[in-house]
Amino acid sequence: MKVQLAIQKRRSFRALDKIEVTDKIISDLVCAASLAPSCFNNQPWKFIFVRKNELLEKFKTVVSKGNEWVFESSCIIAVLSKKELDCVAKGIEYYLFDTGLGVGQLLLKATELGLVAHVIAGYSHEKTKKILSIPEDWHVIALIAVGKKSKKKKIIGDESRPERLAAKYIYSIDEYSKKLNKKVTH
Ligand SMILES: Cc1cc2nc3c(=O)[nH]c(=O)nc-3n(C[C@H](O)[C@H](O)[C@H](O)COP(=O)(O)O)c2cc1C
């Protein structure tokens, strides 16, 4: 699949059907993430693939209200990152930036494999760390629900891609632009 097509096809769908998440799928996703750039090639990440049914059941207590659609995912990836493993330059801590780059590639790879990989921030960090015995010094910076887009189930919001900021608000050439989307209030 061409990168441009994967970028266009990737969506955070919520209506999911179960699939078998094979070792090959996992290694393909990990490979895509691991080839992402990171500051000094520090790779400040770990990905825990949760696919055992008993564990997925436990994650029903982890996701926040409104994210119950995650119950239909076939695998949940806990994305871990650690500040001490990466650069801090001029006060900018790069561990979250770098891990996000890895996740971006993982999402595109999932799209190429015909899967949905939907990032969520609505979950309990404490419960995730407890269930997966994650040491204190790692941050669980996101969960990714993996499945296949359902052909039958419908969830409002899935039908069209959420609107993006118009290009004029997000880029300029050769100089800083003050233009801000008026809708942004925070
Ligand atoms: C860091 C992050 C946190 C998110 N948290 C949630 C969430 O808790 N629940 C949810 O349904 N979607 C969540 N999303 C998905 C976004 O809502 C979605 O990416 C955005 O609306 C754009 O839609 P698209 O990915 O289909 O293009 C999250 C995405 C990111 C990157």
For the whole model, what pTM was predicted?
Answer: 0.96
Residue written as tokens 């990152």?
81
**If you take atom 28 of ligand 1, which residue's CA is the nearest one?**
120
Asked if residues 64 and 123 have their Cβ atoms less than 8 Å apart, the reply is: yes
Q: What is the mean pLDDT of the chain?
A: 96
Dihedral sign computed on CA atoms, order 133, 138, 142, 146: negative
Q: Is 44 helix (H, G, I), strand (E, B) or coil?
A: coil
How many CB atoms sit inside 10 A of residue 140's CB? Answer: 21
pLDDT in tens, 124-148: 999 999 999 999 999 999 999 999 9
For a mutational test of ligand 1's pocket, the pick from 120, 123, 139, 149, i.e. the residue with the most ligand atoms closer than 8 A to its C-beta, is 120
Q: Is 50 helix (H, G, I), strand (E, B) or coil?
A: strand
Q: For strands 139-149 and 75-81, give the pairing.
A: antiparallel
For a mutational test of ligand 1's pocket, the pick from 9, 12, 101, 149, i.e. the residue with the most ligand atoms closer than 8 A to its C-beta, is 12
Q: Distance between the two ends of the chain, CA-based, in angstroms?
A: 37
User: Residue 184 has what pLDDT?
Assistant: 56
> In whole angstroms, how large is the CA radius of gyration of the chain?
18
Q: Which two tokens stand for residue 40?
A: 């000094």
Share of the chain above pLDDT 70, in %: 97
> Per-domain residue ranges for the chain?
3-158
Q: What is the C-alpha separation between 142 and 119, in angstroms, rounded? A: 7
**Ligand 1 proximal residues by C-beta, below 6 Å:** 11-12, 14, 67, 119-122, 142, 161-162
Distance of CA 174 from the midpoint of ligand 1 (Å): 31
Query: Which CATH number fits the domain 3-158, given the four candidates 1.10.3720.10, 3.50.50.60, 3.40.109.10, 3.40.50.1820?
Result: 3.40.109.10
What residues contact residue 75 under an 8 Å CB cut-off, 6+ apart?
21, 26, 49, 50, 51, 56, 145, 146, 147
10-residue averages of pLDDT along the chain (186 residues)? 97 97 98 98 98 97 97 98 97 98 98 98 98 98 97 92 94 93 64
Q: Which of 57, 61, 64, 50 is nearest to 146 (CA)?
A: 50
